[in-house]
Amino acid sequence: MAEGRIIKALSGFYYVKSNNGIYACKGRGVFRNQNITPLVGDFVTFDITENMEGYIQEIKQRENEFIRPPIANVTQAIIVSAVSQPTFSSLLLDRFLVIVESKRIKPMIIVTKKDLATKQEIQKMNAFKEEYKKLGYRFEFLSLKENVDLLKIIHFFKNEITVLMGQSGVGKSTLLNAINPAFEIQTAGISLSLGRGKHTTRHVELLEVEDGLVADTPGFSAIELNELEAEELSDCFVEMREKRNDCKFRRCLHDKEPKCAVKQAVDNGEINKYRYKHYLQFLLEIIERKPRYTND
């Protein structure tokens, strides 16, 4: 029996990296019977057969997991947006942040295509950068064509299991190729008719970057809040998390309740109005339980 981590899932095989190499493994039938699917990032034990192949026997307990894309035990999420092509959306950014915060994963924000931005777009993005940095988020606005910009972020991958989140076309694969051209990850431009990126990545794989691992994934095609309860949502907004205990009602949803500390903080400018507006949109979505899809 050997131990390792699944670093790639492709065509029914799970590629497990151990101290002795990478083994192409199949999952035991019992996993299918129990409706359990091994995920990239899983720590597993496996039996070795021959020709660097084997069978996964046990999946260790997960720290966290995503369903789409299927990946587990992530320590860091880098949310990648673009200043344009596709157009930057603070609503979509906050949606990603809510999901990352709900799973207690460390977030970072990267906005790309600075080299394509107008002076007005640069000013607008720098304003967003300052606002999110005040909330405690790491935020980099950069051009993937500039080596000096890449040097600003390369150390963030060290000793982390990182997943890149964002719409297709924002530059996730381009970012990985810029960090290590040997990856040769296929990239594609923006569909002019749809105004969104084209799918390029077809499977999930962990790639080695700076003594860490980063996931190249097909993207987050559905950003649903199905795992969150209404009472948990404000805990995923860092500025509301600090105020919630000051509300009159312990289960305050910060919507129509009186003597709400969060609403008071919005009124006096302590909480950005657009962030609060996004919170209300997500709250309604959770209450109605209707999944919303991105244009990934």
For the chain, give the mean pLDDT.
87
217 vs 212, which has greater pLDDT? Answer: 212
Report d(CA 156, CA 80) in Å as an integer. 14
pLDDT reading at 256 higher than 80: yes
Q: What is the pLDDT of residue 186?
A: 58
CATH code, residues 2-61: 2.40.50.140
Q: SS3 letters for the chain? A: CEEEEEEEEECCEEEEEECCEEEEEEECHHHHHCCCCCCECCEEEEEECCCCEEEEEEECCCCCEECCCCEECCCEEEEEEECCCCCCCHHHHHHHHHHHHHCCCEEEEEEECHHHCCHHHHHHHHHHHHHHHHCCCEEEECCCCCHHHHHHHHHHHCCCEEEEECCCCCCHHHHHHHHCHHHCCCCCCEECCCCEECCCCCCEEEEEECCEEEEECCCCCECCCCCCCHHHHHHHCHHHHCCHHHCCCCCCCCCCCCCCHHHHHHHCCCCCHHHHHHHHHHHHHHHHCCCCECCC
Instruction: List beta partners, residue 77.
Output: 107, 163
State both tokens at 228.
Answer: 């969150």
Express each pLDDT in 56-81 by its tens digit. 999 999 999 988 788 999 999 999 99
221 vs 20, which has greater pLDDT? Answer: 20
Q: What is the pLDDT of residue 6?
A: 96
52 vs 195, which has greater pLDDT? Answer: 52
Report the predicted TM-score, pTM, of the whole model to 2 decimal places.
0.85
Report d(CA 130, CA 270) in Å as an integer. 14
Q: What is the pLDDT of residue 289?
A: 77
CATH code, residues 71-216: 3.40.50.300
Q: Domain 230-288 adopts which CATH fold?
A: Ribonucleotide Reductase Protein R1; domain 1 (1.10.40)
CA 269 to chain centre: 29
Report d(CA 259, CA 2) in Å as an integer. 58
Report d(CA 281, CA 225) in Å as an integer. 11
Cis peptide leading into 107, omega within 30 of 0? Answer: no
CA dihedral 143, 68, 223, 137 (to 10 degrees): -50
pLDDT reading at 199 higher than 60: no
pLDDT band for position 193 (50/70/90)? very low
pLDDT band for position 194 (50/70/90)? very low
Q: What is the pLDDT of residue 148?
A: 82
Instruction: List beta partners, residue 164.
Output: 78
Q: What is the pLDDT of residue 227?
A: 85
pLDDT reading at 196 higher than 90: no
Domain map of the chain by residue range? 2-61, 71-216, 230-288
State both tokens at 147.
Answer: 């080596």
